[in-house]
A and B are shown apart, each in its own frame.
Chain A
């Protein structure tokens, strides 16, 4: 996984707009945990309900075809549904499959945005 400060900021901004007390995410040896103020009594590093969807390739992200509404926030997706494509050089396109069935809780990359391998694209709420 690769995250940049900008990614962290967008998670944080999103967190402020929710009723969640904290968000933690862990993959391998790495992860992060955010807690909102006045919730310090709640232990940190509780596993998040949200499943991250990371970019499988470097390239330009294109919003996908899952459901008629596209892979928009709030839309329900089946496991393995294609949430978008990463367009690479020489016309190659790498699909972004949903790792779990659920609802798209948050999108992080807009259509046409450059993404790296491991960039955070979505949170899915199973």
Chain B
């Protein structure tokens, strides 16, 4: 087992890893930027090293600085957390070359699964369903291709990203003109006008499978997490099990994730993301080759510590349990991401001084956070300041528990998404689990409009 782990991250996830290490008897090294000197992860680690100025490119993304910090402290392993360098194959290689164990998958696996096109090809090879679409780029036979895929279709840019060259087409008569527009847009944005077609999944849910794989080829898949409540592709609330899944669909999805992991030679923990259609069919989206923000949801459902598991796997230990144990559903869990953002002002970031903070507690409540009264949320990094995770025997009881816990959760000094989460729990579609990935966007408009009605001063600054 490792003797000293350097955590190449900040905030709540750095703290989460430090806690796991402490429980495992492993020493920890925190690294921090100038803006994070007062963060709790710096205080809780056995050692802390200042690695650079506030901007992440000069600190948390600075490979030389992080490797140097590992060297001067004598760390033998690096935990990348999520974000920053966690899915960077070059960083994983650089750790290995510096004689450090990277707590994550092998660089080759990150490379293979990190790019959507190669990951999709692997998924097809593993027999995992992908969103139906044209095999390659569109040519003159685009009309036949579109009919084969089935309307409505999405036109997507081959070198795409950020919504550029992305167009939805409902009827065949619009197809030719929309393809032309998408090609022009893609050419301007990426210097590559090639496009392809994909079937539009109109009302999808976002469901993902946590996997864990040891170095001997053992792979297990946990029950799914449902991350349908998201705004602009940012997850806001995750729960497990998904209220939209059947045991049969769950089994098939777990099997698909395991097959993909095996064909990719994947090791350590990871997550396979799917779109779940209203008819129960599901399609592969991508693999996250790291620990996820929402991993505690699975921990509460399964009773298995994923960070312990992850560190053990990286040290070469075998998985201590099989698929039957991983499949166990012991409770229903919900995670609320509390961000320093004002839901009444279009989720604008609200960095600043936390004057006071009352955290919820009591039965079935877990809070992961690096904040405390007097802490200043820096403006340089993402706005996640806390995760509230509850568990209860059923979804109905978990919602009741969330409502109670969010009622106890008060942060003063900066705006947070706590009021948004309180509001979500009261919505009929949420309670009945009848919503898709577009739902939170609509809800967030509602919460912005609410501000222009009778504004409740008690909610300001919360």
Q: Which residues of A contact B (CB under 8 A)?
A: 1-2, 57-60, 88-90, 92, 114, 116-119
Pairs A–B under 8 Å by Cβ, sample size 17:
A57-B65, A57-B68, A58-B49, A58-B65, A58-B69, A59-B72, A60-B68, A60-B72, A89-B64, A89-B67, A90-B63, A90-B64, A90-B97, A114-B72, A116-B49, A117-B51, A118-B34
B52, closest chain A residue (CB): A117
A90–B67 CB distance below 8 A: yes
Residues in chain A near residue B52, CB distance under 8 A = 57-58, 117
How distant is the Cα of A92 from the Cα of B59 in the complex, in angstroms?
Answer: 15
A86, closest chain B residue (CB): B68
In the complex, besides A2-B50, A58-B68, A114-B72, 14 extra interface pairs with C-beta distance below 8 angstroms are A57-B68, A58-B51, A59-B72, A60-B71, A88-B64, A88-B65, A88-B68, A89-B67, A90-B67, A90-B98, A92-B64, A116-B50, A117-B50, A119-B50
Give min CB distance, A57 to chain B, whole Å: 6
How distant is the Cα of A48 from the Cα of B136 in the complex, in angstroms?
Answer: 69
How distant is the Cα of A58 from the Cα of B64 in the complex, in angstroms?
Answer: 9
B side interface size, CB within 8 A? 20
How distant is the Cα of A89 from the Cα of B64 in the complex, in angstroms?
Answer: 6
How distant is the Cα of A118 from the Cα of B64 in the complex, in angstroms?
Answer: 16
Residues in chain A near residue B98, CB distance under 8 A = 89-90
Residues in chain A near residue B373, CB distance under 8 A = none
In the complex, chain B residues 60-90 whose Cβ is within 8 Å of any chain A Cβ:
63-65, 67-72
B72–A117 CB distance below 8 A: no
Residues in chain A near residue B65, CB distance under 8 A = 57-58, 88, 117
Residues in chain A near residue B53, CB distance under 8 A = 117
A30, closest chain B residue (CB): B37
> Most chain-B CB neighbours within 10 Å: which of A60, A114, A119?
A114
A58–B72 CB distance below 8 A: yes
B264 on the A face (CB < 8 A) = no
**What is the 8 Å Cβ interface bit string for chain B, positions 351-390, against chain A (1 contact, 0 not)?**
0000000000000000000000000000000000000000
Give min CB distance, B101 to chain A, whole Å: 15
How distant is the Cα of A2 from the Cα of B53 in the complex, in angstroms?
Answer: 11
Give min CB distance, B121 to chain A, whole Å: 33
**What is the 8 Å Cβ interface bit string for chain B, positions 26-67, against chain A (1 contact, 0 not)?**
000000001001000000000001111100000100011101
Residues in chain B near residue A1, CB distance under 8 A = 34
B94 on the A face (CB < 8 A) = yes
B37–A2 CB distance below 8 A: yes
